[in-house]
Amino acid sequence: MNGGLHDLPSVFIRTAITVDLQHPYRSPHNPVVTMFIARSEYDRGINTFSPEGRLFQVEYSLEAIKLGSTAIGVATGDGVILGVEKRVTSTLLETSSVEKIVEIDQHIGCAMSGLQADARSMVEHARVESQNHAFNYNEPLRVESCTQAICDLALRFGEGAEGEESIMSRPFGVALLIAGYDEDGPSLYHAEPSGTFYRYDAKAIGSGSEGAQAELQNEFHKSLTLPEAEVLVLKTLKQVMEEKLDSKNVQLASVTREKGFKIYTDEEMESVVGRLPTN
């Protein structure tokens, strides 16, 4: 601070000299106050890289996901299990209206963590892509292709595609776990707001993802059966949830070759919860 303007980052100096000098606190003679009032141009620009090669708005969207409900996916040889924590913020809230796992197609589903409104846009886009593919080619869309379509949409913030006007003013604040069963067998993908996606055997996202991922690292093995994966998902959620786990505040779904995508009923949830270890 003793060095004055010479010790400030150049981005703040450039911003500071453009402020209204009539404001009593905005003056070249008070650069420290000005620095905190002014916002970095790299912070505001959703398509502007910082000198360090960072997109701050994308980083902020990843932070929003860390505030969301914990979601877990586990892939086995027979199918994929998705599990999500359902946060009930009021006794007046109808728990069935809290949808954290949704169907994209008969053979694909996804779990979400982050802003649900953003997730709805991504899911609707994926549904349209899947139906268009089935109509044009008379075959189901591959899970990887569905994930790619979602990530292509995630990259369209700040500018339109092929001369179109911008359709989004900011990156999506949600991450998805996309589970499906296609000609390649069962698969699980993680899609981020940055447009990046990876395939996983087991993955956790959301507020409890760090602890949940560590538990999955210790407990997952390739020979897991579908019933064992159900227990693993709920046991892991139980460890990271603040509330006591029961059949009402968690949601499970599976994707298999025989049944496709299926969300568990209340009776099925109670059955799986009853198989959890008591300790």
* pLDDT score recorded for residue 41: 64
Contacts of 185 (CB under 8 A, 6+ apart): 77
3-state secondary structure of 175: strand
Structure confidence at residue 45 (pLDDT): 62
pTM of the model: 0.80
pLDDT of residue 146: 97
pLDDT band at 94 (very low <50, low <70, confident <90, very high): confident
pLDDT at 166: 52
Q: What is the pLDDT of residue 34?
A: 42
Query: How far is it, in rounded angstroms, from Cα 143 to Cα 189?
Result: 8
Binned at pLDDT 50, 70 and 90, residue 179 comes out as very high
> Buried b / exposed e across 161-195, counting CB within 10 Å, b at 16+?
eeeeeeebeebbbbbbbbbbbbeeebbbbbbbbbb
How far is the C-alpha of 93 from the C-alpha of 227, rounded, in Å? Answer: 30
Q: Quick one: DSSP state of residue 51?
A: T
Sign of CA dihedral 65, 69, 75, 80: negative
Please check whether residue 193 is in contact with residue 174, taking contact to mean a CB–CB distance below 8 angstroms: yes
Classify each residue of 97-127 as buried b or exposed e, where b means 16 or more C-beta atoms within 10 Å of its C-beta. ebebbbbbbbbbbbbbbbbbebbebbbebbb
**111-170 residue pLDDT tens:** 999 888 889 999 999 999 999 999 999 999 999 999 999 999 888 775 555 555 555 667
Q: What is the pLDDT of residue 43?
A: 65
Task: Give the pLDDT score at 9.
Answer: 46
Side by side, the strands of the sheet bearing 202-205 are 202-205, 71-75, 79-85, 250-256, 260-263
Give residue limits of the domains in the chain: 49-275
For the chain, give the mean pLDDT.
Answer: 82
CA distances from 122 to 110, 183, 192 (A): 11, 24, 11
What sign results for the dihedral spanned by CA atoms 21, 26, 31, 34?
negative
Query: What value does the mean pLDDT take over residues 241-260?
Result: 93
Q: What is the pLDDT of residue 75?
A: 98
Query: Under a CB-based contact definition with an 8 Å cutoff, are residues 75 and 96 in contact?
Result: no
The mean pLDDT value for 166-179 works out to 82
Which percentage of the chain shows pLDDT scores above 70? 78
Other C-beta atoms lying within 10 Å of the C-beta of residue 252: 25
pLDDT at site 5: 44
**49-275 has which fold?**
Glutamine Phosphoribosylpyrophosphate, subunit 1, domain 1 (3.60.20)
Q: Which residue has the higher pLDDT, 106 or 88?
A: 106
